């Protein structure tokens, strides 16, 4: 097999860079001039770079703007829900306080001592006897 340097015995004389660059070409197709152009050259930077199509740049920009707007919208909604929750907690506390006051007022109004005093002021007296009336068909309880 003839390689870059002629015979197969010349393989041991090849440098590592020649092997890593895959310069094993047949003499019939390419001459040594092609291989000599690569000596001392950084072939890693010579690889063709795949460029992003120019029409994708506005698409990425629009996508980034929409993503930013979505994030802002979520944050604004979160803040709004926080304010609503805070006002609901305040309203709940006010209603609980009002319920406490009204429960105390009902207790005051139902106080038997207060009702007796109010009845005396109105000229009412305690009855001498109580007559229990029941609807027809029900028995009277003693």
- Rounded to an integer, what distance in angstroms lies between the CA atom of residue 14 and that of residue 127? 131
Q: What is the pLDDT of residue 99?
A: 98
Identify which has the larger pLDDT, 85 or 40.
85
DSSP class of residue 7 equals: S
The CA angle 78-81-85, to the nearest 5 degrees, is: 140
User: Length of the chain in residues, anyone?
Assistant: 142
pLDDT in tens, 8-66: 544 445 455 444 445 454 445 555 566 667 677 776 676 676 777 888 899 999 999 99
Which residues, listed in sequence order, are joined to residue 6 by a DSSP beta bridge? 3
What's the average model confidence in pLDDT over 123-137? Answer: 83
| Cβ-proximal residues to 43 (8 Å cutoff; 6+ apart), any chain | 21
Q: What is the pLDDT of residue 93?
A: 98
Please tell me the pTM assigned to this model.
0.44
């Amino acid at each position: 097999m003839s390689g870059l340097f002629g015979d197969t015995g010349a393989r041991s004389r090849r440098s590592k860079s020649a092997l890593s660059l895959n310069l094993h070409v047949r003499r019939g197709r390419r001459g040594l001039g092609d291989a000599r152009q690569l000596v001392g050259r950084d072939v890693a930077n010579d690889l063709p770079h795949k460029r992003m199509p120019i029409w994708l740049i506005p698409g990425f920009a629009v996508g980034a703007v929409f993503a930013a707007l979505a994030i802002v919208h979520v944050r604004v909604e979160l803040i709004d829900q926080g304010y609503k929750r805070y006002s609901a907690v305040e309203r709940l506390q006010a209603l609980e306080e009002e319920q406490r006051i009204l429960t105390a007022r009902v207790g005051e109004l139902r106080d038997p001592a207060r009702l007796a005093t109010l009845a005396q002021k109105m000229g009412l007296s305690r009855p001498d006897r109580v007559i229990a009336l029941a609807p027809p068909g029900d028995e009277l309880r003693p």
